[in-house]
Amino acid sequence: MSKKIVVIGGVAGGAGAATKARRVDEDAEVIIFERSPYVSFANCGLPYHIGGQIEERETLFLNNPQKFLDWYNIKVKVNHEVTKINPEQKTVEVINHSTGEKFSESYDKLIVSTGGSPIKPPIPGIDKKHIHNLWTVQDMDDIKAIIEKEKPHKAAVIGAGFVGLEMVEALAERGIDVTLIELLEQVLPPLDPEMSIPVTEHLKEKGVEVILGDGVQSFLGDEKVEKIQLKSGKTVEADFVIVSIGVKPNVEILKDAGIQLGDQGGVMVNERMETSVPDIYAAGDIVEVNHLVSGKKVRIPLAGPANKQGRVAGANAAGGNLEFKGVLGTSIVKIFDITAAKTGLNEKEASEEGLDFFVSYTVNKDHAGYYPGAEWMHVKTIVENETGRILGAQIVGPKGVDKRIDVMATAIYAGLTCFDLEQLDLAYAPPYSSAKDPVIIAGMVASNVLRGEIEIITPRELEEMLKSGEEIQVIDNRAMVDLDKDGVMEEADVIPIGEFREWYEEDIDKDKPVVVVCGIGYRSYLAYRILKQKGYNVKSLSGGYSTRIMRTPRKK
């Protein structure tokens, strides 16, 4: 006797679950209930259609009900919302929003992928016209219509996460003056603060007004928004607003059905994506799964994990035996001409987990410097002391960030160490990389630290030492031409590496701690090796002056 599999929700998790269930069991009856008019669309592509990078709206729709029926023999009922799950009866209650009809549907196996909803904070005036979220196709259509018909001049984006920054770019590309408002002191909260600085500076270079560390007090105007009153007292003019401050999981029907939720408000599932109630599976933005580094349950609403989770849930509901191992939170975002990415734990998260680790900064070009078009990237690697296990990485730069963060994510998934990173056999040709790829360099530097070949100090640690009044000698190993081009470090005496052996004994006091500095950390590494072997108490500034100011060396 064939089984009946009901899927609540489409898009990434639900649609993937349904099609995988079909591939596992050709005879099963599979039904998808989707409350919106669209069962499968590229929600990550919505900002790019608004900005004009994706010209054709129809390309965002990956599948439709007729294709689901023709290709997969799956019944899709759009505009149908499941309002209740009855685990004991193994039924769901459904309302057809097109007709108002209410009915019950039985199931043998149930897969829930209800996704999330944008957070709408209780701010006075938030219901005024021209204040929008971007989450659904209808949101996209509404925003695009306002831009094209009413041609707003000044827009504000509330929230500097991934979607918020993508919308800043989209609006700017449409010729609108944009102000970005973020309550935290940085953009891109998943990154450590210093790694977000190049993104902030790039936004300003593109004409975006960036307001950090300030929240919205109220939205002002008659029917339509005209101004934003901030908590600091500052007023921002805006005739159009995008609110993008986070997403909450849609778990109400699961909670009402007695399905266990976790500490982060998501649905608890095991590796088979089974919930606490038999024959009910869950996937996508609503679930809490294992973090592959910390081992803790986390809810990370990203499309990649949602697709994989849906595939596992669909296979197992149909009689298969797949497992979802967990997540790293690997993510990437393009903001105009710069890219930022993260995988694993950031420094703050590693500290909160009580892990024993160090951080290493490296600055390298995405491909061979002698081949035209090479661009610098900042790499921050979080490494476990003793073992050398890679705990996390963050990368920011104009080009080549995507493939480097994917190598790092693969390394973390496989449990590799920094000693493994320096041995990786990566593809090299001048247009694509260097003989020592930025990932390999990151591994080499971190390995040098663990082998005791270099002692490093981070820019933050150096600042703390300088502020404390501790008596240290800072020696800059850059050439004078680099100082003129990139900036002078006022606390440092200059001894270029080419003259270092000639002058270090005369200019450096052997009885005082020494910090050597250069542009990106290589010349100071050479100076460190000289001083260390001569008995000096010395450390090298990780990532060099470029990391201290979070700006890459300027082109000559």
Q: What is the DSSP string of 322-354?
A: -----B---EEEEETTEEEEEEE--HHHHHHTT
Q: Which residues pair with 109 in a beta bridge?
A: 5
d(CA 537, CA 65): 70
d(CA 352, CA 348): 6
Strands 456-457 and 390-397: unpaired
Outline where 241-369 has alpha helix (H). 252-256, 303-317, 347-352
Active-site residue numbers?
Answer: 44
d(CA 191, CA 307): 24
| Residues written for the chain | 556
Report in angstroms the alpha-carbon separations of 214 from 111, 130, 163, 180, 236.
41, 21, 19, 11, 12
407 and 426 Cβ atoms separated by less than 8 Å: yes
CB burial of residue 510 (10 Å; 0-12, 13-18, 19+): middle
Q: Which residues pair with 361 in a beta bridge?
A: 380
Provide the 10 A C-beta neighbour count for residue 368. 16
| Rg of the chain (C-alpha set) | 27
288 and 267 Cβ atoms separated by less than 8 Å: yes
